Structure 1
């Protein structure tokens, strides 16, 4: 609790540099939240069998293969630089040694935006902001209108086939209420997914990026942590090892409803002007009939 008695906002920090692609987070999410099995979509071209976030995939571990030269000896030297970097360096060494390939693995999830467009467009109040600062869908009052789906700048929310209602990550709202961490973070074996107060996570993330830079990884960067970005900062942010587009993330996300207030103001002015014009016509018509 804060000094004012309010709960601190909580969220996820996903450090992709230590993700090993085990998909334990996907399994834990499905098991705890009773998310339906969505089939195996293996194409023979990738180990990624879930393809992307959706109504039946609330955590998605992406496998991104890159043909980049990997200096095995440099990677091994990084591993000796400190135990904090050993997992990342080891995974790159295994993926790249002798192949010229590296795998970037990242567990994606709903961003629980500070300025959430899905909340703005929901006509039933099915989507709401919890006391933890997260965004949750109450499926029992969702009418399946689908307005939230195009409103999301990340393409996270989806309607379930044969059901029609919207579904997405709840950050395990039921677990938070009893002091437990979300199932995905609990199951992650490398602490790639970290859960806690957002302020603490942001400080930890900054330190981690600096450590990677010091170890010769200048491409390490944070995504979604900035409160001044287009969505007011995300409740689930990431440490990436390449450009956001490589991970299928928009480089400059914006809240899609940002222009709604001005649009309503313009509409109100237009309505008043129209009403005044109609009234003037009636007044003139009345004078002519005299």
Structure 2
């Protein structure tokens, strides 16, 4: 694997069993604070969402089984005749191709690595928080203690040592797959075809398309239902896409204003001489 080759995650939710091994491995390797063990009224989900101390979040979605849809071959298994179904998915920062967080960071704390991933340098972050609303996925969060922003680094330190990220290494079902992004996209397309042939018409990819609103994600997913069911935006768009046009219009307006001021000054000066 060359330094120029972009790497990423392919998360196949159809084989996720909700064991949370990825969450634990992520916290252990990156020395992240625990999220508390109190009941959240969200099934077995004590972390609730991605955040400054949760860089991998396993979502548990319990819902009535859609009418007329085939049984889903989930790795966790479901009893025959079950009226409810579980959807499980390990969410993570998407490491967008067009990353708005990079565009708005004033200190350079966020940067694109040689692996194509997006990383926050915590010792450079000044806690301004601009990156938080810029993220179309709501991934980045500031820690209350000092305001600095944190998110998944795709284990940048491990990549530099030739190792795979801790979450992928810990996943017992290979729901989280790591590797060259182009290879993962090919593998994912084959997996979708396989599931559809097995009677799972709802299988689809999310975040894999280089022509989508963020230029494709470095972490993409195979879902078994609509993105909204998993708490994902259906059509994410880089929030800074209009910045070049805005700066162009602002520049034109500034020039027009300066021109008007100059004309007024010249008129006033001419009137004074008369």
Q: Return the offset for 1:43.
A: 3.1
> Which structure 1 residue ranges, 5 or more long, are not aligned?
79-87
Q: Distance in 1 between matches of 2:152 and 2:42?
A: 28
Task: State the match for 1:91 in structure 2.
Answer: 76
Identify the match of residue 277 of structure 1 among 260, 269, 272: 260
Identify the match of residue 167 of structure 1 among 134, 140, 150: 150
Q: Distance in 2 between matches of 1:40 and 1:267?
A: 50
> What do residues 35-83 of structure 1 show as CA deviations (whole Å, max 9, x unaligned)?
1111124234511111000001000000000111699xx75xx8xxxxx
TM-score by length of 1: 0.90
- Contact 1:9–1:133 under 8 Å retained in 2: yes
Q: Distance in 2 between matches of 1:188 and 1:243?
A: 24
Q: Distance in 1 between matches of 2:22 and 2:101?
A: 25
Q: Distance in 1 between matches of 2:75 and 2:230?
A: 21
What is the correspondence of 1:56-205 to structure 2 with a 5 Å cutoff?
Answer: 56-68=53-65, 75=71, 88-94=73-79, 97-205=80-188
Task: State the match for 1:19 in structure 2.
Answer: 16
- Contact 1:59–1:108 under 8 Å retained in 2: yes
- Contact 1:28–1:187 under 8 Å retained in 2: yes
Q: Distance in 2 between matches of 1:45 and 1:116?
A: 30
TM-score by length of 2: 0.96
Count of residues in Structure 1 that have an aligned counterpart in Structure 2? 272
- 1:213 matched to 2:196: yes
- 1:28 matched to 2:25: yes
> Which structure 2 residue ranges, 5 or more long, are not aligned?
none
* SS of match in other structure, 2:87: strand
What is the correspondence of 1:45-56 to structure 2 with a 5 Å cutoff?
Answer: 45-56=42-53
Q: Distance in 1 between matches of 2:59 and 2:157?
A: 26
Task: State the match for 2:225 in structure 1.
Answer: 242
Task: State the match for 2:209 in structure 1.
Answer: 226
Q: Distance in 1 between matches of 2:53 and 2:242?
A: 31
